[in-house]
Structure 1
Amino acid sequence: MKKATILVVDDEAAIRRFLKPFLEAEGYSVLEAENGRDALATASSRDPDVILLDLGLPDMDGEEIIGSLPPWAKARVIVVSARGNEQDKVSALDKGASDYLTKPFSLGELAARIRVLLRHEADREAPRPTRYAFGDLLIDLDGRTVSLEGEEVHLTPTEFKMLAFLALHAGKVVTHGQLLREVWGRHSRDQEHYVRIHVHKLRQKIEKDPARPKHLHTETGVGYRFKE
């Protein structure tokens, strides 16, 4: 089975030296770039599966790289940055990053995020399933039904559309803006309260303990992550 290839983009050599042996021990092939120009050249010529991208590069902002990747590139981007404020996270995710980790981070969490991303990329390339099982929660996209512990859960059309979108992107951060565009349309950008209200309603219906959700987790100030 072909090894997945990860491109580490960071201008700090110490971080690249730190990450490379760890990722290789996890079974990945590792490429390196210390600036944006080299990152884009390597992404174009080597077509990595995942890019771990620092935003503070010497020649360009990391967000420019996300927007400049060739349209045929398969790489999914995990931003790994010291910028931890909410707006930076939202901006990078809206630009097309698949996930965001704030430095310092644990290697265990990084490895888990990479595995989730690669697994869902493989699922995306395969025929898309119409039924998703998350423990005792079952979502049937074709039948537009949801059941919990074998009992049907009655959702409104809006609640079902939101849950289906989150389930299709399980493991990834979905921003408020992405949910608004998907569920309510592109003219709803300033209506974040729609999302909060419907997430609250969903938790009441699909979580055994809505105050401590098992599946529908908040990424503070950014959006939500549906955990499997």
Structure 2
Amino acid sequence: MSAHLLMIEDDTRLAGMVGEYLGQSGFTVAHSPTANGGLDMLGGQPSTSTPDLVILDLMLPDMDGLEVCRRIRTTSGDISQIPILMLTAKGDPLDRIIGLELGADDYLPKPFEPRELLARIRAILRRRIDGTATPHKVLRFGTLEIDRDARSVSVGGQPCDLTAYQFDLLVTLAERAGRVLTRDQIMEAVRGRELEAFDRSIDVHMGRIRAAIEADPKNPRRIVTVRGAGYVFAKQQD
């Protein structure tokens, strides 16, 4: 069964080219040229037609793409967990960081190679599928519970709001509790793209995870930074 994608992009020519290219690779692509139209498509579709991934342009005529991302992430139900891949002509690293902080799973600047877009979409969807296929069910660390089958995280019984990508990052660390992992090792474990040396997006995701699971994110006890090395998920209980 092919994956269903929703592309929110005001450049109809680009959307048509991307839709045709992805269609040749087995994807079904719906398109909205406006933010409000895309949000209506998300909110109005039955659950069986909910997209598997949203391709979201940052610069839209009726609403900033960052605001669209925020609204998707704060929507109740399955829609809030849909992976988001941002497209933008803006080259400012701050836009990328803000997008990731709001819950985007990946970020691709324009102009881009269609093959790279396809590779990133497949990587995001593969992480999601692989995560649900694992035989490990619940990881427990004191009051922290990570349910791999349900792809949910809770602390003291209270649910934590994480994107699909952040969930995979957390599981990668938790499964290797007590072991220091470099950024490259973490990215390889979740089958993501290799980051350039100056790309700190993984640190942004770690900050979001800490904000969700740590009692004091500024003084984390679960996900600890090892200066010059990477990150370690501490074994200690609450």
TM-score, reference length from structure 2: 0.63
Residue 176 (structure 1) aligned with residue 203 (structure 2): yes
Could you say which residue in structure 2 is the equivalent of 1:31? 30
Give the total of aligned pairs: 176
Residues 37 and 181 of structure 1: is their aligned pair in 2 closer, same or farther, counting only changes over 3 Å?
A: closer
Residues 142 and 91 of structure 1: is their aligned pair in 2 closer, same or farther, counting only changes over 3 Å?
A: closer
Q: Equivalences for 1:89-128 in 2 at 5 Å?
A: 89-127=96-134
Contact 1:82 1:102 in 2 (8 A): yes
Q: Equivalences for 1:73-222 in 2 at 5 Å?
A: 73=79, 74-127=81-134, 142=175, 144=177, 157=178, 159-160=180-181, 166=187, 169-171=190-192, 174-180=201-207, 182=209, 185=214, 186-188=216-218, 198=227, 200-202=228-230
Residues 183 and 13 of structure 1: is their aligned pair in 2 closer, same or farther, counting only changes over 3 Å?
A: closer
Question: Of residues 57, 61, 68 in structure 2, which corresponds to 1:58?
Answer: 61
CA distance in structure 1 between the aligned counterparts of 2:133 and 2:70, rounded to whole angstroms: 26
Residue 16 (structure 1) aligned with residue 23 (structure 2): no
Give the C-alpha shift of residue 125 in structure 1.
Answer: 2.3
CA distance in structure 2 between the aligned counterparts of 1:98 and 1:141, rounded to whole angstroms: 20
Percentage of matched positions with identical amino acids = 24
Residues 201 and 65 of structure 1: is their aligned pair in 2 closer, same or farther, counting only changes over 3 Å?
A: same
Contact 2:56 2:84 in 1 (8 A): yes
Letter in 2 for 1:49: D
The unaligned stretches of length 5 or more in structure 1 are 131-138, 145-156, 204-228
Misfit runs of 4+, over 3 Å:
127-130, 139-144, 160-170, 172-175, 180-187
Give the C-alpha shift of residue 47 in structure 1.
Answer: 1.2
Give the C-alpha shift of residue 76 in structure 1.
Answer: 0.7
Give the C-alpha shift of residue 13 in structure 1.
Answer: 1.0
State the secondary structure of the residue aligned to 1:179.
Answer: helix
CA distance in structure 2 between the aligned counterparts of 1:89 and 1:126, rounded to whole angstroms: 30
TM-score, reference length from structure 1: 0.65
CA distance in structure 1 between the aligned counterparts of 2:93 and 2:125, rounded to whole angstroms: 25
Over the residues paired in the alignment, what is the CA RMSD in angstroms?
A: 3.3
Contact 2:182 2:230 in 1 (8 A): no
Give the C-alpha shift of residue 181 in structure 1.
Answer: 5.3
Contact 1:11 1:58 in 2 (8 A): yes
The unaligned stretches of length 5 or more in structure 2 are 138-171, 196-200, 232-238
Give the C-alpha shift of residue 21 in structure 1.
Answer: 0.6
Q: Which has the larger radius of gyration?
A: 1
Contact 1:161 1:183 in 2 (8 A): no
Residue 42 (structure 1) aligned with residue 41 (structure 2): yes
Contact 2:181 2:229 in 1 (8 A): no
CA distance in structure 2 between the aligned counterparts of 1:177 and 1:101, rounded to whole angstroms: 16
